[in-house]
Amino acid sequence: EIVLTQSPATLSLSPGDRATLSCRASQSVLSNFLAWYQQKPGQTPRLLIYGASTRVAGIPDRFSGSGSGTDFTLTIGRVEPEDFAVYYCHQYGSASPWAFGQGTKVEIK
Amino acid sequence: QVHLVESGGGLVKPGGSLRLSCAASGFAFRDYYMTWIRQAPGKGLEWVSYIGGNGVTRFHADSVEGRFSISRDNGKNSLYLQMDNLRPEDTAIYYCVRDQARLGVAGLAHWGQGTRVTVSS
């Protein structure tokens, strides 16, 4: 199974700051099948990005995904108060095991 | 509107069994990959199992391989997770989740509210 390692574990930011979250895979992610989710306390996760860089309809354009192979990044252009949450990366595919990263918490500085 | 409702969770002793169910509605169930994801208290997301629309493609995480089995009944629009030989570390909320893509995989867009499983003596 692929292992996904997210960094940093916690990101302390002020509203308006730029957030850069990293997700590194132990082996290459086929077809860039890499997704990002946001989870707030008491809520189920929300899909933000799939295919490494495609934003889901309705997700603000301050969220962007990039990367390929083993290194992926979620960027929040200017963090809004509602963006403070935990973010997870997820490797998926149609004929192989899946994996989640351990999460990055974006907290208010 | 996509609707996923899990049931079957509860308190069970180590070594025991449970069968989780997920009732799906609002979409063509047979056309979608379905997944079980779990989240232990205060912890991150963990993929458990997924199954293709026709039930042939199935994968389980190493942590549950040989103990858990995913299945589906497309005639009943239902997803199942048979959990045997349960361990304390299986304690979590279990979510039934639907992929966003019809006839493929492209990220987990629709989540049920979850059912709680507690494994304790």
Q: Which residues on A lie below 8 Å from B61 (Cβ)?
A: 1, 97-98
pLDDT the model gives residue B113: 97
Query: Least CB-CB distance to A47: which of B35, B100, B113?
Result: B100
What residue of A is the nearest CA neighbor of B56? A95
Q: Where are the beta strands (DSSP E) in B1-121?
A: 3-7, 10-12, 18-25, 34-39, 45-51, 58-60, 68-73, 78-83, 92-99, 108-111, 115-119
Identity of the residue numbered A106: V
CB contact under 8 A, B44 and A102: yes
**For the range A54-60, what are the long-range contacts, defined as Cβ-Cβ under 8 Å and sequence gap of 24 or more?**
A56/B100, A56/B107, A56/B109
Angle at CA B99, nearest 5°, toward A28 and B79?
Answer: 120
pLDDT the model gives residue A95: 85
Shortest CA gap B33–chain A (Å): 9
pLDDT the model gives residue A1: 84
pLDDT the model gives residue B86: 98
pLDDT the model gives residue A94: 83
Identity of the residue numbered B73: D
Q: What is the pLDDT of residues B26-60, one digit of tens each?
A: 999 999 999 999 999 999 999 999 999 999 999 99
Please tell me the distance from the alpha carbon of residue B16 to that of residue A32, in angstroms, as a whole number.
39
Q: What is the pLDDT of residues B8-24, one digit of tens each?
A: 999 999 999 999 999 99
Flag residues of chain A having pLDDT under 70. Answer: none
- Token pair belonging to A92: 């998926």
Q: Which residues on A lie below 8 Å from B111 (Cβ)?
A: 44-45
Q: What is the pLDDT of residues B54-110, one digit of tens each?
A: 999 999 999 999 999 999 999 999 999 999 999 999 999 999 999 999 988 999 999
